[in-house]
Structures are given as structure tokens and as C-alpha cells.
Copies of this chain bind each other. A is one copy, B any other.
């Protein structure tokens, strides 16, 4: 489970669960969100395994704190994980699932509206990340050169966020262009065409419409992965 390794990595410098939550919400959540209710038991488990150690720390401003830190064994486990080959992993992208099925609404103006909102959300997050990068550049006259090893690797992930979100926005724009072009055609074909027959009007050769038809697939690949 990646959360365990992320904790081992973050706790190379000592921190409490509460501290970590702030770090997750500030930086890590872009690629791995976590709740306090997940972090506290995970830290206990990792301490039981000898991968973390903890101590009571004097609190500056609040109640008692329990501060955790990665042990030598924890470092070894972390390094072993980091040394494994990359995997693309399972991504669950809810907004794509919706687009995939959105023909059900039979109303392109709703699809258009969806993409307009999505574009704004992505653009806002892109600005968030750009602000982080500007902050780094303001603090460090050499940025993005001459970084410490730590910051160099972190900056690699920031660049990923920046390029991904820029691509998101571009995809929304491209989609909006396609949607609007299609809406133009729909209008010129006449509004009065009953919607449930629209598809067949537009040439009946769409064998690929049968997205769900399992008989059309080339070969039964094994169900297991």
C-alpha cells in the first residue's frame, strides 16, 4: 500500500499526525489524498512493525503531541519500494466516466456546460500549481537549477502536475470546439427532428456504436489480471 511508504518517506523528518495532515492537504493530496483517520492507525501499525518510532513532544501551543520518525528499518523498506519498477496503476477518473455516458442526456448544451465548468476547475487548479512554482522561483534565484536532491525530485512531480493540468484545459477547449461545431450542424439539420431518430438519420453505418456488444470483441482475453 502506497500510503505506508509515503508516511515512511515524509517521516524521514519527525512530525505528528496532525502535521502530516497539513502536508497532505498542502502538497501530497495532488497525487495521494489521505485523512487523519487513516494516518493515525497507519502510523501505529508502522511503529508496531518497527518501521517508525515515536516520542511525546512538548507542545508549543496545544495539547500533547506524538511525534513519529522513520527508523533505519523504515528507511530500508522505503528504499526497497522506491527501487521497484514503475506501474501505471489503476486510475479512477469520475469526470471521464460521466462524459463517456453523457449521450444519455440527449442534450449537447448540457455536455457543453459540463465542459465549461470542468475547464474552470482545471484552470483554477493549474493556477494553484503555478503559484507554488512562482513561490519557489521567488525564494531561489537559481530555480529550477542547483536544487537539492530533495527539491529536484519534488520539482519533477510539480512539473507533472503543471503539464497534466495544462493538457486537461486544452482537452476541454478542444472538446468545446467539437461540441459547438456539432451543435451548429444539429441546428442546420432542423430542430424538429425527433431526438431518438437523430442517430439513424446520420448514416446508419456505425457498427462501433455497439460499445457494449461483447460478441464484437476480437478475442476473449483472460478475465484475471
Interface residue ranges, A against B (CB under 8 Å) = 2, 5-6, 9-13, 15, 18-19, 21-23, 25-33, 36, 75, 78-79, 81-83, 85-106, 108, 110-111, 114, 117-118, 121-122, 125, 135-136, 139-140, 142, 144, 146-154, 156-157, 159-160, 163-164, 166-167, 170-171, 174-175, 178, 182, 198-199, 202-203, 205-214, 217, 220-221, 223, 225
| A153-B121 contact given A91-B31, A209-B148, CB 8 Å threshold | no
A25–B221 contact, CB under 8 A? yes
A200, B151: Cα distance in complex, Å: 13
A157, B178: Cα distance in complex, Å: 13
A99–B148 contact, CB under 8 A? no
A209, B154: Cα distance in complex, Å: 9
A159–B139 contact, CB under 8 A? no
A121–B88 contact, CB under 8 A? yes
Out of B114, B140, B147, B208, name the residue touching A139 (CB < 8 Å): B208
A145, B157: Cα distance in complex, Å: 37
Could you say which residues of chain B place their CB within 8 Å of the CB of A94? 2, 32, 87, 89
**Which of A22, A27, A75 is the most central at the interface, judged by chain B CB atoms within 10 Å of its CB?**
A22
B15–A103 contact, CB under 8 A? no
B175–A171 contact, CB under 8 A? no
Q: How many copies does the complex hold?
A: 2
B178–A156 contact, CB under 8 A? yes
A36, chain B: closest CB distance, angstroms: 7
Q: Which 6 A-B pairs have the closest CB atoms?
A: A9-B101, A31-B96, A19-B214, A103-B149, A31-B93, A86-B118
